[in-house]
Amino acid sequence: MAALTAPRSYAPAKIQIELPNQPCALAWVDDALVAATYDYVEAEGTRVGGLCLMRNTEIAATLELRGGYALAPRGSQLAVATADGRVALVDVAETLTVSTVSEAKGHLFTDVVWDGPDALVVAEGDSGRVSRWRADDGLAESQSWDAHAYAPGCPAEVWCVGRDPSTGLYVSGADDGLLKAWDARSPKPALALRHGAGVTAVLCDDGSVSTGSYDESVRLWDLRAPAAPTASVAVGGGAYALARDGGGYLAACMGAGACVLRATPLAVAGVYDHHGSVVYGAVRHGASRRIASCSFYDRGVHVWCDE
């Protein structure tokens, strides 16, 4: 058997930016980097923040949304899930401009993904619900369902959502340690995949699903044979967020930094561990191959290279 290769340790970023609020997600839009940010103001019981636009080493613009939480880029537009339970469509150019925004539901929206060209799927946080939204003419909720609960009347916080294009199934992951797959025509899940702790991240791709969990593992699943994961790897910290990276993945691993994962075989290829607090996001810029990662409590964004 060939010897295992130890993961690389990457050099500290030459670009390090401190944001005005705490970042919890990142997205590249062309050559601009956008962070979703929020701070909890305990005395008022509210969240502040929204979006922060960065170009090169500078903060170019900010947009207040009473707390931004998750981002879904599409061209020069971002779908944003907010901390007060809204969905916003934001145009990214020299500045940040809200195209349309829904009414606040009053509870944290934790994830948003595009479902085709004119629809969105949203994880509604501690309500335990998942919702679908039309986005072709403004924003309007078209369907929602109770997705995760510990017991009747006791919802489990939903962290992530997705849609598998080949099966048409929607997927959701939550604090109950389950990834569930849903046919939108049925109130009952088509399947439920057990994890060792809360499911925090999911990516869907033609019948296969990749998940991240607080149990410090990234797993690959085949929805056609879901009895057990097809592969798994320990990443040293809670796998809070996943992003596609060519044929592999980037994982934001909280206290263990940001990990570059290769897919075949699934393994940690390298680790960036120079943040000052928990890492919640990591994304690669396609053209330059730079990686951006963000850490929450020290409000840090680092842009670094793994080559």
Q: Using one digit for the tens of pLDDT, what is the confidence trace for 131-142?
A: 999 999 899 999
Residue 76 lies in a domain: no
- Count CB-CB contacts under 10 A for residue 119: 16
Residue 122 lies in a domain: no
What is the sign of the dihedral through the CA atoms of 219, 265, 165 and 140? positive
Residue 272 lies in a domain: yes
Tally of domains in the chain: 1
Residue 164 lies in a domain: no
**Tens of pLDDT, residues 182-195:** 999 998 999 999 99
Report the share of the chain in percent with pLDDT over 70: 99
Residue 253 lies in a domain: yes
Question: Sheet holding 68-74: strands in order across?
Answer: 68-74, 77-82, 87-92, 96-101
Q: Are 27 and 283 in contact (CB under 8 A)?
A: yes
Query: What mean pLDDT comes out for the span 86-115?
Result: 97
Task: Provide the residue range defining the domain that includes 262.
Answer: 235-307
DSSP-based helix, strand, coil % in the chain, nearest 5: 0, 55, 45
- Count CB-CB contacts under 10 A for residue 272: 25
| pLDDT over 80 (residue 118) | yes
Q: What is the DSSP letter of 85?
A: S
Residue 291 lies in a domain: yes
Residue 168 lies in a domain: no
Residue 268 lies in a domain: yes
Q: Name the residue type at position 129.
A: R
Closest CA to 165 of 115, 214, 200, 126: 115
| pLDDT over 70 (residue 1) | no
The CA-atom distances, in angstroms, between 200 and each of 44, 58, 215, 274, 305 are 28, 30, 10, 22, 26
